[in-house]
Amino acid sequence: MLIAISDVLTAEQVTQMRAKLDAAEWVDGKVTAGYQAQRVKDNQQLPEGHPVAKELGDIVLGGLARSPLFMSAALPLRVFPPMFNRYTGGGQFGTHVDTAIRQLATTGQRIRTDISATLFLTAPEEYDGGELIVEDTYGNQSVKLPAGHMVLYPATSLHKVEPVTRGGRVSSFFWIQSMIRSDGDRAMLFELDQTIQWLAVELPGSPLGVSLTGIYHNLLRRWAEM
Ligand code: NI
């Protein structure tokens, strides 16, 4: 399931974050890439554990916690600390699949990457190219969102970032281990939750809503891993 989530950050938050990111020292993005991804990765990022990445990552996590759509779509168990990257001057990231297991540098805790997230921090008008292309069963999906908006896509999918031929593309990227490992199961729970929310508006107090809510929680209880 590929889903766009609007307004994870406010315009003011994006402006403040961009000022700090533009002033930070960036390093070659190959440092966190696995062997296969290293050959196709041409961008810059803030080093893991960089104080600016930590400070701004906390703002991103705050935005996620305030987003009911994120909670419903991701059903997060653990969120990898948000990282930041930048593409300029033809920079790109060729077709790859994300590493399945990531280890936190701080605690050594391992996170299974079920969902990949890209949170855009530059407006589409600021750069040419830089589309995130995600291959899914319906074909290639091209994603380029307004600043402050985020896309979630299955970490199992092949994906790439097209060359940035003008300006710069700055984003936050991270992974989520979901309580629901299977993308298909998670998509079904998301649809069910959306239906329950729709019923609450269209038929408030309906016993159908109670019944579907029961089914939702019983499926979650059956499938959730903690
Ligand atoms: Ni990737």
CA of 97 to the centre of ligand 1 (A): 6
CATH code (residue 148): 2.60.120.620
CA of 95 to the centre of ligand 1 (A): 8
Cα angle 212, 75, 180; round to 5: 85
pLDDT at residue 38 above 90?
no
- Give me the phi and psi of 113, to 5 degrees please: -90, 95
CA of 98 to the centre of ligand 1 (A): 5
CA of 201 to the centre of ligand 1 (A): 38
What are the structure tokens assigned to 11, written together? 């315009």
- Say yes or no: 100 and 147 in one domain: yes
User: Containing domain of residue 106, as a range?
Assistant: 3-178
User: Given pLDDT bands bounded at 50, 70 and 90, which one contains residue 102?
Assistant: very high
Q: Into how many domains does the chain fold?
A: 2
pLDDT of residue 202: 95
CA of 130 to the centre of ligand 1 (A): 13
pLDDT of residue 56: 98
- Say yes or no: 117 and 219 in one domain: no
CATH code (residue 200): 4.10.860
- Say yes or no: 91 and 189 in one domain: no
- How is 129-149 classified by DSSP, letter by letter? E--EEEEETTEEEEE---TT-
DSSP 29: G
Q: Are 194 and 72 in contact (CB under 8 A)?
A: yes
CA of 204 to the centre of ligand 1 (A): 42
In whole angstroms, give the CA distance from residue 155 to residue 100: 8
CA of 216 to the centre of ligand 1 (A): 31
CA of 125 to the centre of ligand 1 (A): 23
DSSP 3-state of 78: strand
Q: How many CA atoms lie within 13 A of 209 on its CB side?
A: 12
CA of 202 to the centre of ligand 1 (A): 39
- Say yes or no: 35 and 20 in one domain: yes
pLDDT at residue 40 above 90?
no
Q: Are 162 and 99 in contact (CB under 8 A)?
A: no
CA of 164 to the centre of ligand 1 (A): 16
Q: Which amino acid is at 67?
A: S
The pLDDT > 90 percentage for the chain reads 89
